[in-house]
Structure 1
């Protein structure tokens, strides 16, 4: 496992999960992610990317929500788990993400090449 894969796996385990409101996608706008995380997602066409961007949505947002939820990038996993990226509908895990883990995610994002999802 590459260093980045290991870091991604470790951070994923440390970010708490919670239930979103069914049908909500308020946090599912276009985001950037590392090339490593992007390589785990289905390839979308330029037309699909353009259509999603025109709606300010993520290209992996489908009619029933996130189509790559299990592989969603770290930045998506942080939404709703930290006061800095609070859910606009008040959803949250029982325990918010530890500040150190949040900082490690942001450090990972800052040091890796980011691509638009």
Structure 2
């Protein structure tokens, strides 16, 4: 396809814009979705790099809610729902694009 675009007289920028980007759009959408969910649920890196409790991420705050001798299951369940809600909404918004990208990569 790249050679056909070059033979048709397309410049490098036109080839990128009109051939390469439309072909990679579903794959990039899948990567963005997975990267968002991965970074949203990351626990270890924010735990190590954020020293104060003022700017903790949701997953680190969830880990701090349950102690060794005490736990509040109601608060933990509410915080878990609040923590998973953005990732769930993001997935539901991009579900069609995500499935198209996964299926596109599976068929040869």
Higher strand share: 1
TM-score (norm: length of structure 2): 0.28
Larger RCO, structure (CA 8 Å, separation 6 or more): 1
Q: Which has the higher Rg, Structure 1 or Structure 2?
A: 2
